Chain A
């Protein structure tokens, strides 16, 4: 998809593959049959630049044909550079401006609570996204309103656009900060399905406070030359020799571009 587009954000999309895959195929009460029903579970990709993985999951669930991948980021396509709920069926929110998807998800969770609905809200944030002040406004809001029905998952791949998080600003210690903000924090390996499953189950048992899953991941996971290399944050796609290696490592050798 990234190669068709010629640009995009491969690094942060690859670190979130297992989390998004598990949510869409094992967790969410969300399908083409109920995606406009107010009682659906909601998944919000607050780190909207990682939409390559969201689009793959939605296509797999039948929301649109995979041939749309060829028009990603191109004019007249339904797949925008960042998610657009009015253009792409199954997308909940026009994320991309960091921090906003998280607050949007909090609003969904509060609406569920006020209306006594039992749907759950899952929102995926980047660790770099935690630089945004709005995110911390949201953490205060979620704890104050006791939003037991939201799970925020942080794709903690340790890198942001330019460099390691720790070389950009004083983000750590994330766990202690989130606990101090009144959230239950569960740390997992974000590439391990069993750990993802267990954390989501644990989140359901907690009453009266929201849960955040700090998922430790590898940026660019699965493509050897992209792993832990901030160059592959975006916005770009592999070319030449690197493209051949990437496709081989994804087991997509035969793909014609």
Chain B
């Protein structure tokens, strides 16, 4: 699984942009909706290559969400693209009432997640989007961990009916998962086996969790690392299995610790197999402008932050 680390470094938004161009060459059933942020969400190449399937909506995300619902009744699959703060807050009531409640086949693809946004600062750092979308019926949520997984996810979401919220990402990411990785709704993947603690991570935090596990291994702490890219539905069986096997769980997400991955895992554990757990994430505060790497370090979201959480819960 770890062969080829650092082989390719590309952002998830650009990977998404390449995916839709490649898919558009072989299928003509989807359109891209943009709110004047094509450069930010990775759809620029699509815009220049398939201009007739690129729908400019202007800086008007609320209208864009409801327009997408209407488009979906005409035999097209609309893919709404914008920043996560707007997809999950500015236009969330439209996502709920225009898309989720009537159950239309619309895919919402959001970039600019968590502190990974960096210098734009807290107005653009979405730390609530998983929590918000998770509480809306009919929406499924997926956050791939690397470019290879993004390529595996995209055809799956286009081939299954229903509303989906997909998280991409802004910073360049190493490609570390297998090229032939499969994605299945409701299935997490064990990337590394271990006995002492399970680190369940999502998005940019998966690679950091693997880095932390590698260092902890040298200190004699054996970590199981799980990529929980399917946030909803979530892999209940795997979470319970992790609790039974390692008896301690740490979650890691570039998101508020309230209501996101940590919240989802805690819900499963508390109802089925309660074990001690610790949540790595943004500690219910607004962050600040800065380089994404420096922010991750300052707010405890880097591999060292995960390492620290593991040691703390194991009382080492």
- Measured CB to CB, the closest approach of chain B to A137, in angstroms, equals 4
Chain A residues with Cβ under 8 A from B65's Cβ?
A: 103
User: At the interface, yes or no: B119 with Cβ under 8 Å from chain A?
Assistant: no
User: At the interface, yes or no: B290 with Cβ under 8 Å from chain A?
Assistant: no
- Measured CB to CB, the closest approach of chain B to A51, in angstroms, equals 14
Asked if B58 and A134 sit within 8 Å, CB to CB, the answer is no
Asked if A111 and B66 sit within 8 Å, CB to CB, the answer is no
User: At the interface, yes or no: B235 with Cβ under 8 Å from chain A?
Assistant: no
Scoring A92, A112, A114, A115 by chain B CB atoms within 10 A of each residue's CB, the highest score goes to A114
User: At the interface, yes or no: B69 with Cβ under 8 Å from chain A?
Assistant: yes
Chain B residues with Cβ under 8 A from A105's Cβ?
A: 70
Q: How far is the CA of A109 from the CA of B73 in the complex (A)?
A: 10
The 8 A CB mask of B52-79 against A (1 = contact, 0 = none) is: 1001111010111111111111111010
Asked if B97 and A110 sit within 8 Å, CB to CB, the answer is no
Asked if B62 and A99 sit within 8 Å, CB to CB, the answer is yes
Can you name the residue of chain B whose Cβ is closest to the Cβ of A121? B70
Instruction: Mark out the residues of chain A between 123 and 171 whose CB falls within 8 Å of any chain B CB in the assembled complex.
Output: 133-134, 137-138, 140-141, 144-145
Asked if B103 and A110 sit within 8 Å, CB to CB, the answer is no
| Set B58, B62, B68, B69: member contacting A93, Cβ < 8 A | B69
User: At the interface, yes or no: B294 with Cβ under 8 Å from chain A?
Assistant: no
Chain B residues with Cβ under 8 A from A103's Cβ?
A: 62-67, 69-70, 94, 98
- Measured CB to CB, the closest approach of chain A to B144, in angstroms, equals 27
| Set B52, B58, B67, B93: member contacting A110, Cβ < 8 A | B67
Contact size class for A?
35 or more
Q: How far is the CA of A101 from the CA of B102 in the complex (A)?
A: 12
- For the complex, would chain B's binding face be called helix, strand, loop or mixed by DSSP majority? helix
Asked if B102 and A141 sit within 8 Å, CB to CB, the answer is no
Task: Please report the total number of B residues contacting A with Cβ < 8 Å.
Answer: 30
| Set A94, A115, A137: member contacting B102, Cβ < 8 A | A94
User: At the interface, yes or no: B101 with Cβ under 8 Å from chain A?
Assistant: yes
Q: How far is the CA of A145 from the CA of B75 in the complex (A)?
A: 19
Asked if A110 and B62 sit within 8 Å, CB to CB, the answer is no
User: At the interface, yes or no: B19 with Cβ under 8 Å from chain A?
Assistant: no
Asked if B103 and A141 sit within 8 Å, CB to CB, the answer is no
Asked if B102 and A110 sit within 8 Å, CB to CB, the answer is no
User: At the interface, yes or no: A74 with Cβ under 8 Å from chain B?
Assistant: no
Can you name the residue of chain A whose Cβ is closest to the Cβ of B94? A100
Given known pairs A94-B102, A100-B97, A100-B98, the reply for A111 and B73 (CB within 8 Å) is yes
Asked if A140 and B70 sit within 8 Å, CB to CB, the answer is no
Instruction: Mark out the residues of chain B between 90 and 109 whose CB falls within 8 Å of any chain A CB in the assembled complex.
Output: 93-94, 97-98, 101-103
Can you name the residue of chain B whose Cβ is closest to the Cβ of A95? B97
Chain B residues with Cβ under 8 A from A42's Cβ?
A: 73
Q: How far is the CA of A134 from the CA of B65 in the complex (A)?
A: 10
Chain A residues with Cβ under 8 A from B55's Cβ?
A: 110, 145
Scoring B73, B74, B98 by chain A CB atoms within 10 A of each residue's CB, the highest score goes to B74
Q: How far is the CA of A203 from the CA of B284 in the complex (A)?
A: 53
Asked if B70 and A115 sit within 8 Å, CB to CB, the answer is no
Chain B residues with Cβ under 8 A from A115's Cβ?
A: 74-76
Chain A residues with Cβ under 8 A from B98's Cβ?
A: 93-94, 97, 100, 103-104
16 A–B contacts from the bound complex (CB under 8 Å) = A38-B73, A38-B74, A93-B69, A93-B98, A97-B94, A97-B97, A103-B65, A105-B70, A106-B67, A107-B73, A107-B74, A110-B67, A110-B70, A114-B76, A137-B58, A144-B58
Q: A103-B66, A104-B70, A106-B63 are known contacts; what are 4 more A-B pairs with Cβ within 8 Å? A: A38-B74, A84-B102, A103-B62, A103-B70
